[in-house]
Structure 1
Amino acid sequence: MQKRKLILEDGSVYEGIAFGDDTYQVGELVFNTGMSGYQEVLSDLSYCGQIVLMTYPLIGNYGINRDDFESLDPAVFGFVVREYCETPSNFRGDMSLDTFLKQKHIPGIAGVDTRAITRKLRNSGTMRAILADSDANVEETVKMLKATPYLHDQVARVSTQKPFPIPSRGKKVVLLDFGAKHGIIRELSKRHCDLIVMPYDTSAEAILALHPDGVMLSNGPGDPKDMQVAIQTIRELMGKVVIFGICLGHQLIALACGANTVKLKFGHRGCNHPVMNLATGKVEMTSQNHGYAVEAESLENSELVMSHQALNDKSVEGVRHQRYPIFSVQYHPEAAPGPEDSNYLFDQFMELMEKERV
């Protein structure tokens, strides 16, 4: 079996078994706590520029199928697992994880102590890393990692380059694509929305010229403060159309309204995060993938109020505007792979568009 190394910027080295491709790129090493859904994780464009470690020990056992992709061109820079299953067994499976990673030029490593690496990231925070051949010079690689700047153009890499419609006869919705998961499109299409997917840097003028009933701000990768054009666009849309933001879209709404965002030590990534709906007092299990969050204290400088809160660390998980038909959540109500506790938010979006139209 071919060996491979995972090298971190603090000098840590983990040697394991190579699988997938051998196209190596420096990325931010992060961990995901989901017990399933590795296909959705790999194809989630919010992971652009990151090397993803799965904390669940067995990965690849149900292969890859044609139905569960969240994008067609994954943007992860690497995949780290404890045990890789070479012989998947599932009636929906079309190919092995190894074959998929080779097709998409994503390197993988198995046989490393993922618990130890996760503890390191929880204690020290996320850090730059790279997968490398077993004979790579560690000292030179660490120097290179420390000298490599973090990316600031991830959204431009993953957003659609041209507008495209997904026609129906319902409410007209503009989906501003910062790296949108297909699950968002599926949920809006289920509700018969007449969708137009637009590039991330589309102007407010171009959006309003379409006379939409609502605007959906999608998830996406990177630091929300890099998205100054989008922040200004949102400011110009406020009060003129219903707006619903998810993940990065949520953070951009906060910045557009005068609140602040901060980088979390190691982020929230997984499909088992408890969130309380402050209006109902109910707890929802949610799917999450973000390294930045809205600063709770900064909401006092805006017209936003917190609507949802994380139970693990009390961070802001949702906001709503006190005057305009605008709301957002930090987590993923489209889930994919689940859980589906928060699916009702898409219905609230539909109801708000109907109310504002009257």
Structure 2
Amino acid sequence: MKRQLILEDGTVFIGNGFGSEVDKMGEVVFNTGMTGYQEIISDPSYCGQIVTLTYPLVGNYGINRDDFESIHPAISGFIVKEATDFPSNWRSEWTLDEYFKMRNIPAISGVDTRKLTRIIRKYGTLKGAICGIEQNVEDVLNKLRGNSLPTNQVEQVSTKSAYPSPGRGYRVVLVDFGMKHGILRELNKRDCDVIVVPHNTSATEILQLRPDGIMLSNGPGDPKDVPEAVEMIKGILGKVPMFGICLGHQLFALACGADTSKMKFGHRGSNHPVKEMKTGKVAITSQNHGYTVEEASLIGSPLEITHIALNDGTIEGLKHKEVPAFTVQYHPESSPGPEDANNLFDQFLNMIKSEKQEGVSACQNVQI
């Protein structure tokens, strides 16, 4: 089944369609990870995007029931050089083709993904469409150039109602902007009593849950499209320890008076080196983001840079100078990717513990 990938600059790739035969448009991005395609496919941060994998052979270990990062994948399409028809792994339950058919996701193989990646790196992310070979290219280009990208991705992927993931440790309210299940797994692993809440939950509603800590999750799109979350963060800062990841990091920066901007082609992959400013230690991290915090906007803000990306010098971590709150742009839950930064979850819990101990000490020193 021949299909075509059409980019808004007029470039056309002809390949072999698999998965769903539906036509889809979206922002075309690339991921440099060599493994972890199942987690990439099911990462809510790819909502509305057509994902290109630079690694040439994809699908060799199939799709299994355990490695999903969300129940309902939100990607618009998938592009690979070669897709395996007969995966070999004891956990495999579906091929990529079978899974994409079930989930109504169009995919295309036989594409020169190196050429496609070079185009994106040179010109930046582009809108594109996976469609039938019979579709007129000019008609598709007119649609691509005439339609703007959606701005409600967070609303699409966030939970619609709060739910608990019980534990006997510290209570953490996890704000779901498009949460990867890996974040929830890491908190559960540490026996946290987690309550997951929708993206538009107010500061008052969150504080009524009596949390020991607040986790701001990852998610898709432009952080400036979620102004209600910025106001929520402003209402909580200084009252409860806070830890933000990816989109949560960007929203935290906006709440503290900094600014964000769209990157040329973003960071997407599991091999990005990040340097911790305090120690000079370098960690290899998993990343998936198309926006960054502007360094110049931190002047006069209460924020301090804690981590930077070694590839391009962009900000990868922040902490508040006056209240217990820190964030990172990368993914310490490492799904997929290296586990170099997994200890950040322990740092978050240690921050909570320290704040509670200070609170107890303050109460003990009160004179009656």
Q: TM-score range by the shorter chain?
A: over 0.9
For residues 299 and 347 of structure 1, the distance between their equivalents in structure 2, rounded to whole angstroms, comes to 27
Which structure would you say has the larger Rg?
2
What one-letter code is carried by the residue in structure 2 that aligns with 1:352? M
Amino acid paired to 1:261: T
Map of 1:32 onto structure 2: 31
Which AA in structure 1 matches 2:132?
Answer: D
Letter paired with 2:60: N
CA–CA distance in 2 between the matches of 1:216 and 1:22?
39
1:135 is displaced (CA, Å) by 1.1
1:72-103 deviations in whole A, cap 9, x for unaligned? 10000000000111010001111111111111
Name the residue aligned to 1:299: 298
> SS in structure 1 opposite 2:169?
coil
How does 1:191-230 map onto structure 2 within 5 Å? 191-230=190-229
Q: How does 1:65-144 map to 2 (within 5 A)?
A: 65-144=64-143
Amino acid aligned to 1:13: V
For residue 309 of structure 1, give the secondary structure of its aligned residue in structure 2. Answer: strand
1:190 corresponding residue in structure 2: 189
**Aligned letter for 1:277?**
E
The superposition leaves residues 237-266 of structure 1 with CA deviations (integer Å, 9 ceiling, x where unpaired) of 011000100000000000000000010000
Q: Is the 8 A contact 1:24 1:77 kept in 2?
A: no
- The 5 A counterparts of 1:152-167 are 152-167=151-166
Tell me which amino acid in the other structure corresponds to 2:142: K
Q: Which secondary structure does the structure 2 equivalent of 1:189 belong to? A: helix
- After TM superposition, the structure 1 = structure 2 runs for residues 1-358 of structure 1, keeping only pairs within 5 Å, are 2-358=1-357
With normalisation by structure 1, the TM-score equals: 0.99
Q: CA deviation digits over 1:155-195, x for unaligned, max 9? A: 00000000000111100000000000000000000000000
Measure, in 2, the Cα distance between the counterparts of 1:297 and 1:206: 34
Query: In 2, distance between residues paired with 1:331 and 1:71?
Result: 18
Give the aligned residue type for 2:329.
Answer: Q
Query: Whole-Å Cα distance in 2 between the matches of residues 176 and 23 of structure 1?
Result: 33
- What is the DSSP-based 3-state SS (H/G/I as helix, E as strand, rest coil) of the residue aligned with 2:24? coil
Question: Quick one: distance in 1 between partners of 2:289 and 2:324?
Answer: 24
The one-letter code matched in structure 1 to 2:57 is: L
Rounded to whole Å, the distance in 2 between the matches of 1:23 and 1:135 is 13
If the length of structure 2 is used for normalisation, what is the TM-score? 0.96
Displaced runs of 4+ in structure 1, greater than 2 A? none
> Is the contact between residue 163 and residue 199 of structure 1 (CA under 8 Å) also seen in structure 2?
yes
Letter in 2 for 1:122: R
Gaps of 5+ in 2: 358-368
C-alpha contact 1:259 1:301 (8 A) present in aligned 2: no
CA RMSD of aligned residues (A): 0.5
The count of aligned residue pairs is 357
Deviation at 1:25, TM superposition (A): 2.1
Structure 1: gaps spanning 5 or more residues:
none
1:26 Cα deviation from its structure 2 partner: 1.4
* Alpha-carbon shift at residue 337 of structure 1 (Å): 1.7
